[in-house]
Structure 1
């Protein structure tokens, strides 16, 4: 049966509570930390050797689609009524708006060390200790809007610029490409400062704290953010039905991207699934 992912701003009080409780349950069981480990392990940048499957690569979108599905499956084993809501950051832009409420994700970090002290994921609750990280910190951190060096969330216009591009991705299939929907949405830009970050990447920078590293999964907003990114991919797919995931075939031995990117029908690590198999999820879920 197809289930629905809702805009987080439309969740009822009961739906918010069930979503939070399911997250806290899989955290207590140790399942959540495995998701953090997987993301850290697969965060491979252009400058590193080997295969890039999660970031700076065409498979950015199908990789996170499958990652979200796995998290959602874990949550629904706890409570079958739960689905991952999405955060439309083009509309809900205030640091005190949903999802930054005490009954959902909690608010901003305090000024001194960016520690989140409100809501169910605050360190003081004892329910959300950070165990898998790229630093030694044990508490969740945020710096919404980056008070010391302000940055704005992407706008509907920024998103529309990405959605208009009919080509999924282009060579050399990395963070340097200036064309193609994938990187316009993933958001690797040129230059320095805030202008270098667009759409998906800019949201990570706007949230700050834990969301700045490969361990960004430690902040539950990661899932709400990526659910919206996934929704935007479904909109692009509907708008450009004649266009598909690229590259269709793997780059050859003479290419700098040989064995560094996942082609349409190649397995997408760490799963036994291809990008092509993740093109259409309409029989699994849809967005409200």
Structure 2
């Protein structure tokens, strides 16, 4: 039977406590740091050689859907009633709204070193030590809105620019793709400031701290953010009936993206499942 992912603002007090407790237990067991390591490993940029699956590629959405499911399964092994809630950053936009409450994810980092001091994931409580990362430091860091170079969360209007595109992705299938839903949602733009970071990417930048770069999984908000991104893929599919993951076939030899991106029916590392197999989720979970 399919379970439900809820808007984080709709969680009851008991649901908040159970979600936090399950996250902390997965961390205590050592499983959580495996997710951090995996995301760092698969965070491959355009300029790097080899296959890209997690970012700057068409498989951005199915890769993270499968990644999210793995974390959710780990949580449900702890508490079968837990699922990952989603954070709609077009609605809950302040630094004190959900999910930044003391009973959920805690708040912003302090000015001196960006260390998160509130909530259950604060280092002082001894239950959320950063062990895997691209920088030193054992405490969770955030810097909401980047005060020295101000950035705002994406708006509904900006998100609509992605949702209305009827094509899933376009060549060259990377961060420079100007057409297609995938990159408009993933958010690799041009220029400087907010223009360079759209939708998904700008949210990572707005949170700051550990949410910047491959080690972003260290911040639990990563999962709430990506649950909403996953929901947006679902909404896009409902709006554009019949639209499918692209490319349908691998780029040909001689193409700059040959063997660098995953086509619809090719196996997607590290699971060996195809993007096409991830296009539908209704038998596993649904969104409230």
TM-score (norm 1): 0.99
Partner of 2:143: 143
Partner of 1:64: 64
Partner of 2:256: 256
3-state SS in 2 of match to 1:226: helix
Q: Distance in 1 between matches of 2:194 and 2:159?
A: 16
List alignment gaps of at least 5 residues for structure 2: none
Partner of 1:173: 173
Partner of 1:215: 215
Residues 86-95 or 138-147, more deviating: 138-147
3-state SS in 2 of match to 1:175: coil
Q: 5 Å matches for 1:1-288? A: 1-288=1-288
Query: Is the Cα contact below 8 Å between 2:154 and 2:198 reproduced in 1?
Result: yes
Q: Distance in 2 between matches of 1:85 and 1:226?
A: 10
Q: Distance in 2 between matches of 1:24 and 1:159?
A: 32
The alpha-carbon deviation at position 202 of structure 1 amounts to 0.3
Query: Is the Cα contact below 8 Å between 2:151 and 2:193 reproduced in 1?
Result: no
The alpha-carbon deviation at position 194 of structure 1 amounts to 2.2
Query: Is the Cα contact below 8 Å between 2:116 and 2:139 reproduced in 1?
Result: yes
Q: Distance in 2 between matches of 1:241 and 1:45?
A: 31
- Deviations for 1:161-198, whole angstroms, at most 9, x for unmatched residues? 10000000000000001110000000000112221000
Q: Distance in 2 between matches of 1:26 and 1:236?
A: 32
3-state SS in 2 of match to 1:204: helix
- Deviations for 1:243-275, whole angstroms, at most 9, x for unmatched residues? 100000000111000100000000111002100
- Deviations for 1:2-48, whole angstroms, at most 9, x for unmatched residues? 10000000001100000000000010000000000000000000000
CA RMSD of aligned residues (A): 0.5
The alpha-carbon deviation at position 234 of structure 1 amounts to 0.1
Q: Distance in 1 between matches of 2:258 and 2:213?
A: 26
The alpha-carbon deviation at position 242 of structure 1 amounts to 1.8
Q: Distance in 1 between matches of 2:193 and 2:144?
A: 17
The alpha-carbon deviation at position 147 of structure 1 amounts to 1.4
Q: Distance in 2 between matches of 1:11 and 1:235?
A: 21
* Number of equivalent positions: 288
